[in-house]
Amino acid sequence: MAWRIFLTLIACCSMMACNSDNENAVKVNTTPEPVQSESVEVQAVDDNLSESESESESESEFLTQSAPEPECDLESVNLLDFVPWQREEGWWVGEYTFLGADGDPNVSASWPYRYDHYRGFIHLEVIGNSIKQRNVFLYPAKNSSECDSVEDVVGSGICGDNGNEKVFSADQSASDCDGNLSGPFEAFGMTLSTTTTLIGDDTVLYQVRLPDGSFTQNQLTTLPPNDTRVRTAQGFFMGSSTYASYYRERKVTKEEFVQLLEETRQEYNILELDYCGYDSGGNPSNVSCDEHFGVVLGD
């Protein structure tokens, strides 16, 4: 079951030519006689051509060696120069669905809450050449008929009555001067590699790989120019499909974010002591929501 927890953790994390050508042509004029003179004339032209080509090659080699392509200064990258990061930055709220390998809503033994329809609240901040992402996911209570007991919960709630929350953090920085990102992600004593690749102005590919280089998640984000985004993720374990997610999100103001967060907490009947109370592994987070997001959310 540990690997299922690990995969759920990865899923909740929940977001990174030139051509040249050349052409030469040489025309040699000769007369039909005398043959000897023609031979000498052609030889002379060939010698001149050879010298010219040699000088051209030397000059080209000199220019290539003396004018190398400029290296990318990662510290000077401003991610807000790229349209996808302009669209990504801000406060987001979303409706989420998380499916298991069988295509049904995920069922977790360690996190006994519903995955068919839950909500996410995300703040993504762009700071120069890096991004800072802070999430809190809110889950409704299980249906009472699915509870093994009223204590089938995490924390002090009642199964079938109280929902719960998880927080998640992710930080990445520029890996090149094209707006792409990379960064480590620590989980269960392992350092996972994450990369984010921009594909045009409206598409982002986020990938997570295990220490051996095999991928454990591919996530595609589509960013229409209307303050919405759609994310779908595919999860894998040892090459086999293990989960899929479907996230529908919209950008809001900070004030709307706080209001909708509070409304969802009331709807899901989440206890105040559980607000931002657990990390992505279901362990106590030991941080307040203000500490997690790095800003004061309430009054």
Q: Distance between terminal CA atoms of the chain?
A: 41
CB 132 within 8 A of CB 171: yes
pLDDT exceeds 70 at position 269: yes
Task: Answer yes or no: is 60 within a domain.
Answer: no
Q: Which pLDDT value is given to residue 192?
A: 87
Residue 217, burial from CB neighbour count under 10 angstroms (0-12, 13-18, 19+)? buried
DSSP state of 12: H
Task: Answer yes or no: is 72 within a domain.
Answer: no
CB 177 within 8 A of CB 188: no
Percent of the chain at pLDDT exceeding 90: 65
Cα–Cα distance measured from residue 191 to residue 185, given in angstroms and rounded to the nearest whole number? 6
Task: Answer yes or no: is 51 within a domain.
Answer: no
Reference 217, options 244, 250, 249; nearest CA is 244
Cα–Cα distance measured from residue 216 to residue 240, given in angstroms and rounded to the nearest whole number? 9
The residue ranking higher by pLDDT, 28 or 141, is 141
Cα–Cα distance measured from residue 132 to residue 123, given in angstroms and rounded to the nearest whole number? 8
Q: Which pLDDT value is given to residue 170?
A: 87
Task: Answer yes or no: is 184 within a domain.
Answer: yes
**3-17, 166-180, 183-197, 205-219 — which is least confidently predicted?**
3-17
CATH number for position 148: 2.40.128.20
Q: Which pLDDT value is given to residue 20?
A: 36
Q: Which pLDDT value is given to residue 57?
A: 52
CA distances, 192 to each of 100, 176, 185, 186 (Å): 22, 19, 5, 6
Task: Answer yes or no: is 279 within a domain.
Answer: yes
Q: Which pLDDT value is given to residue 19?
A: 37
Reference 276, options 259, 297, 256, 250; nearest CA is 297
Cα–Cα distance measured from residue 143 to residue 134, given in angstroms and rounded to the nearest whole number? 29
Structure-token pair, residue 290: 């203000």
Structure-token pair, residue 116: 């068919």
Reference 101, options 115, 112, 113; nearest CA is 115
pLDDT-derived band at 213, boundaries 50, 70, 90? confident
Task: Answer yes or no: is 273 within a domain.
Answer: yes
**51-55, 103-107, 196-200, 236-240 — which is least confidently predicted?**
51-55
pLDDT per position as a tens digit, 249-263: 999 999 999 999 999
Task: Answer yes or no: is 255 within a domain.
Answer: yes
Average pLDDT over residues 118-142: 98
Average pLDDT over the chain reads: 83
pLDDT-derived band at 188, boundaries 50, 70, 90? low
DSSP state of 128: T
Task: Answer yes or no: is 59 within a domain.
Answer: no
Q: Which pLDDT value is given to residue 105?
A: 98
pTM above 0.85, yes or no: no
Residue 36, burial from CB neighbour count under 10 angstroms (0-12, 13-18, 19+)? exposed
Cα–Cα distance measured from residue 167 to residue 181, given in angstroms and rounded to the nearest whole number? 22
**Enclosing H/E stretch for 9:** helix 2-12
In this structure, what are the phi and psi dihedrals at residue 36, rounded to the nearest 5 degrees?
Answer: -60, -45
pLDDT exceeds 50 at position 178: yes
Q: Which pLDDT value is given to residue 117?
A: 98
pLDDT-derived band at 212, boundaries 50, 70, 90? confident
Reference 280, options 187, 171, 192; nearest CA is 187
In this structure, what are the phi and psi dihedrals at residue 219, rounded to the nearest 5 degrees?
Answer: -130, 130
Question: What's the number of domains the chain is made of?
Answer: 1
Q: Which pLDDT value is given to residue 190?
A: 82
Full residue range of the structural domain in which residue 106 is found? 2-10+78-293
Cβ neighbors of 26 (< 8 A, separation 6 or more) are: 45, 49
Reference 130, options 85, 87, 94; nearest CA is 85
